[in-house]
Amino acid sequence: MTHATHPTLLFHVDPARNMARFYLLAVEPTLFGGSSLMRCWGRMGTKCQAKRRIDPLAELKN
C-alpha cells in the first residue's frame, strides 16, 4: 500500500531579532501499516532536530 505524504513547511523570519527558523511536519507510514508524525525544526542553514511519534492516532481507533 502506498501512502502519499504532504509535508507542511513553516518559516519564522524576524530580521530585527536575527531569527530565522523552520518547522516541518509530515505524516509518514510505518513498516507495519500504521502512521507516524515526523517533526523537524531548527535554524535555517543548519541541521534540523527531529522527533518521530509512532501512530499518533492509535487512541482514536478504539
pLDDT at 49: 87
Q: In this predicted model, what pLDDT tens digit does every residue of 13-55 receive, in sequence order? A: 999 999 999 999 988 888 877 788 888 999 998 888 888 877 6
Confidence label for 4 from pLDDT (cuts 50, 70 and 90): low
Rounded (5°) CA angle 29-31-41:
45
Mean pLDDT of 54-62: 58
How many CB atoms lie under 10 A from the CB of residue 62? Answer: 4
pLDDT at 6: 80
SS percent in the chain: helix, strand, coil, step 5:
10, 55, 35
Is the distance from CB of 26 to CB of 9 less than 8 angstroms? no
